[in-house]
Amino acid sequence: MIGGLIGNFKIVEQIGEGGMGTVYRGVDVMLDRPVALKRLRPDFSDNPQLLQRFRIEAAALAKLNHPNIATLYSFFRHLDDHFMAMEFVEGETLDKVLHECGPLPCERAAAIFGQVLDAIDHAHVCGILHRDIKPENIIVSDRDVAKVTDFGIARVLGEAGLTRAGSLIGTIRYMAPERVKGEPADRRSDIYSLGVVLYEMLAGRVPFIAHSEFELMTAHIEKLPTPVNKLVPSIPEPVSDAVLQALAKSPDERPQTAAAFRIQLDEALRTPRRRPASSAAGEVSETRFVPRGAVEAALSQVAPSPLEPDSSAQAPAQTPGLPPLSRSKDPRPESTTESANWQIYAAIAAGTFLIGVLTLVLLKYLS
């Protein structure tokens, strides 16, 4: 099959295999664009009712048009096989990214997850539930652009009892409590699965770890998850609270839409972080000292302003603990100086008056 033509599509290589069947990378030879070709499992060919439901589901998925959703191009039959031609997305699954990188920094996780929320919200508005949200169905490009794949496929496979052995445990890790109990799913069931995905992105592990399907289903229904900021202390508490709300057991206590979840997460990221306990009131905060020589060297290079006198040349040395010295050249109080000046003026005036009187007496005597 590799290298062969199937309709307008040339098979290039096999790139994966999942619950639906085998996935190939191909090329649309008419439009010269890359595609992902999903060859459906042989079970479909023997089940006309399943094929019809799949066609209906595919027709609804083909109407989704969103930058964060992998577009479905066509659903067609070739000989005895059925294929889905979808947008080929360059990148790695989020599952592989998490295995390679471990927990993602909060800002990066929120940036990628926000795109997933936008995609799911668009699908919900169009009346389509995903029902199988998990990292394997999210592709992340090298620029952290997220694309969500396989909308609605889980419902078709689940109703037909065609879930592949060994894959059920992977789905249950992200399954809402009401779905575990067999109750009808709605958009809030997808919200729970989104909460599990975000938890794993931040903590590097899912909220509940069990060794059997029964233990895992019981945990979803009864156990409370450990707050994610208890596992990764650097995560802000409002973000951790947003994740816990999405993981609420009751659908009514979760964000009611993906858009509301996005708003709550954005607000949590903008909330200032609380001061750490070590900086609480009553404790001495860290003090940093600058070497005195460094300060003096820096000050020595600062020239005095031309508009101000050089106080360093005029001001006398100041002895610590004493009041500042006056800069007046005369150390006497200003009031004492003024009094002495008035005494001099008075003496000069008296002398002048005496000289005038003696002059008049002398002139009268000579005459």
The catalytic residue positions are: 132
Phi–psi pair at 115, nearest 5 degrees: -65, -40
Distance CA 220, CA 196 (A): 10
Count the Cβ atoms, other than its own, within 10 Å of residue 45. Answer: 15
Question: For residues 147 and 83, is the Cβ–Cβ distance under 8 A?
Answer: no
Burial grade of 349 (CB within 10 A; 0-12, 13-18, 19 or more): exposed
Question: For residues 232 and 203, is the Cβ–Cβ distance under 8 A?
Answer: yes
The DSSP result for 91-152, as a single string, is SEEHHHHHHHH-SPPHHHHHHHHHHHHHHHHHHHHTT---S--SGGGEEE-TT--EEE--TT
Phi–psi pair at 84, nearest 5 degrees: -120, 125
Residues with Cβ within 8 Å of residue 126, at least 6 apart in sequence: 60, 63, 64
| Nearest alpha carbon to residue 89 among 33, 130, 39 | 33
Distance CA 119, CA 259 (A): 10
| Nearest alpha carbon to residue 198 among 220, 219, 229 | 229
Residues with Cβ within 8 Å of residue 117, at least 6 apart in sequence: 194, 258, 259, 261, 262, 265
Strand ranges (E), the chain: 5-6, 9-17, 21-28, 33-40, 72-78, 81-87, 92-93, 138-140, 146-148
